């Protein structure tokens, strides 16, 4: 621990100048060949999101379920179980949640609601979950700027390393990052120094530091890593950047989810992928949990809890036999490509799969099926004149589906299969 703190203190923002002043010349180090099979695995902590010894960022707009996701993530790490669909590498972890804008009661509501929903008890958390609130006096300031003079508070970082090592913390979450310093958040050079100092903390304490960041006011559309407010230096210094998005109006309409329910669905994705393959977004539904704390006629608090949710797949329960039946129906009639036509080919699909084209989710599913079958040439679009000699687009059978068991893909495959 002492060496880690001393090493950190020796690394000044002007590192090269400091090393030269201490009599350490700048010298290039020859690479030593290593057997690739002996290289250590990357020390992942949580799925492919949190990596030990690095900084991760979480970017989300207000009201998008950020605190709910973090509470669920903390419990998943503490119990070592994939309750949110992410693998916890190496078993149960120790987590430190340091919230600088919510009070302890509000944090406790989120934690206890998640524990109730996921059947987690006191014994599962004791000695593994640590919680501090800036609203309860546990403030945090890592850098200041006075009279134009920037100062990185190395003693604070030293104390953080010491406590992280003493408690054996695997993941520290600081929420929000903007409240952990007193520097102009738009100053790239200064934010870069702060972010890299956090990186040295993560390395010295052998943990993952998660810095939570809000989006800018301009980030009203889909949230990306670049939607974060202030200097981009923070995102550039992070090894991964998770972005949280509410379900959009278009997505809700396509899935037939009422607008009042749309806000209960959020997606989380890594928008950086520095050290891991790109992953598709993970979807979550925010369930409501009654805390049972009502008293004297006052209703109990209901808290949101993140639960894994899967986007409906249009090909669920659709087999190659269904495709054959659709092809037979298409070949027996005259079917248009346009969904506005009374002879739309989607009606043939609806008849085969017992779907209702007046129902938005069913219609969206039919359109997805048709797009896939056209892309793999099980169906084809041709152009020819209608009875009035007007050019129209029609759907006909392409490559006939093979009822023999396909190698993979089922009804998604082309007829040649």
Where residue 394 sits, what CATH number does that domain have?
Answer: 1.10.10
Q: List C-alpha distances in Å: 411 to 314, 317, 318, 366, 408.
A: 11, 10, 6, 13, 9
98 and 231 together in one domain: yes
Is residue 347 within 8 Å of residue 367, measured between CB atoms? no
126 and 177 together in one domain: yes
Q: What is the mean pLDDT of the chain?
A: 88
Q: d(Cα 306, Cα 320) in Å, to the nearest integer? A: 36
The number of residues in the chain equals 417
Give 18-64 pLDDT, tens digit per residue: 667 777 778 899 999 999 999 999 999 999 999 999 999 999 988 88
Number of domains composing the chain: 2
Averaged over 338-357, what is the pLDDT? 93
DSSP tag of 388: T
Cis peptide before 176 (omega within 30 of 0): yes
The answer to whether residue 240 sits within a structural domain is yes
Give 243-271 pLDDT, tens digit per residue: 999 998 888 877 778 888 888 999 998 88
Print burial letters for 223-242: b (CB count within 10 Å at least 16), e (below 16).
bbbebbbbbebbbebbbbbb
150 and 189 together in one domain: yes
Q: For the domain that residue 266 is a member of, what is the CATH number?
A: 3.40.50.300
296 and 400 together in one domain: no
pLDDT at position 26 is 81
CA dihedral 63, 65, 68, 70 (to 10 degrees): -110
The answer to whether residue 72 sits within a structural domain is yes
Tokens 């894994």 found at: 308
* β-pair partners for 97: 131, 173
Give 332-342 pLDDT, tens digit per residue: 999 999 999 99
Print burial letters for 279-306: b (CB count within 10 Å at least 16), e (below 16).
eeebbbbbbebeeeeeeeeeeebebbbb
For 2, counting Cβ atoms within 10 Å of its Cβ (0-12 exposed, 13-18 middle, 19+ buried), the class is exposed
Which of 309, 342, 357 is the last residue in one of the domains? 309
- State pTM to two decimals: 0.81
Give 106-148 pLDDT, tens digit per residue: 999 999 999 999 999 999 999 999 999 999 999 999 999 988 8
Which of 281, 309, 337 is the last residue in one of the domains? 309
Q: d(Cα 202, Cα 54) in Å, to the nearest integer? A: 5
401 and 343 together in one domain: yes
294 and 167 together in one domain: yes
Is residue 275 within 8 Å of residue 93, measured between CB atoms? no
What is the extent of the structural domain holding 179? 2-27+39-309
Q: What whole-number percentage of the chain has pLDDT above 70?
A: 89
The answer to whether residue 34 sits within a structural domain is no
Give 369-403 pLDDT, tens digit per residue: 999 999 999 999 999 888 888 899 999 999 998 77
* β-pair partners for 383: 393
255 and 371 together in one domain: no
* Residue 22 DSSP SS3: coil
pLDDT at position 329 is 94
């Amino acid at each position: 621990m002492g060496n880690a703190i001393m090493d950190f203190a020796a690394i000044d923002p002007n590192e090269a100048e400091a090393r030269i002043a201490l009599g350490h010349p700048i010298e290039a180090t020859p690479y030593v060949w290593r057997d690739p099979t002996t290289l250590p695995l990357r020390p992942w902590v949580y799925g492919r999101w949190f990596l030990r010894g690095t900084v991760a960022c979480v970017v989300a707009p207000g009201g998008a379920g950020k605190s709910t996701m973090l509470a669920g993530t903390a419990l998943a790490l503490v119990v070592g179980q994939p309750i949110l669909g992410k693998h916890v590498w190496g078993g149960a972890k120790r987590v430190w949640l340091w919230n600088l804008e919510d009070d302890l009661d509000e944090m406790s509501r989120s934690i206890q609601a998640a524990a109730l929903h996921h059947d987690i008890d006191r014994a599962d958390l004791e000695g593994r979950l640590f919680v501090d609130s800036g609203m309860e006096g546990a403030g945090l300031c890592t850098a200041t700027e006075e009279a134009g003079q920037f100062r990185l508070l190395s003693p604070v970082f030293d104390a953080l390393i010491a406590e992280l090592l003493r408690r054996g913390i695997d993941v520290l979450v600081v929420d929000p990052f903007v409240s952990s310093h007193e520097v102009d958040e738009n100053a790239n050079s200064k934010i870069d120094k702060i972010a890299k100092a956090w990186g040295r903390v993560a390395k010295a304490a052998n943990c993952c530091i998660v810095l939570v960041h809000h989006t800018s006011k301009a980030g009203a559309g889909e949230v990306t890593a670049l939607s974060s407010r202030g200097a981009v230096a923070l995102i550039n210094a992070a090894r991964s950047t998770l972005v949280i998005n509410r379900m959009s109006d278009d997505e809700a309409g396509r899935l037939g989810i009422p607008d009042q329910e749309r806000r209960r669905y959020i997606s989380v994705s890594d928008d950086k992928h520095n050290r891991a393959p790109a992953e598709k977004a993970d979807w979550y539904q925010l369930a409501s949990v009654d805390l049972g704390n009502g008293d004297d006629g006052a209703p109990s608090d209901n808290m949101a809890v993140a639960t894994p949710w899967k986007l409906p797949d249009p090909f669920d329960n659709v087999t190659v036999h269904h495709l054959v039946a659709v092809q037979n129906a298409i070949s027996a009639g005259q079917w248009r490509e346009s969904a506005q036509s009374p002879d739309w080919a989607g009606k043939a699909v609806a008849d085969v799969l017992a779907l209702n084209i007046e129902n938005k989710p069913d219609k969206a599913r039919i359109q997805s099926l048709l797009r896939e079958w056209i892309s793999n040439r099980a169906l084809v679009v041709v152009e020819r004149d209608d009875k009035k000699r007007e050019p129209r687009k029609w759907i006909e059978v392409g490559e006939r589906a093979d009822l023999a068991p396909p190698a993979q893909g089922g009804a998604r495959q082309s007829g040649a299969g």
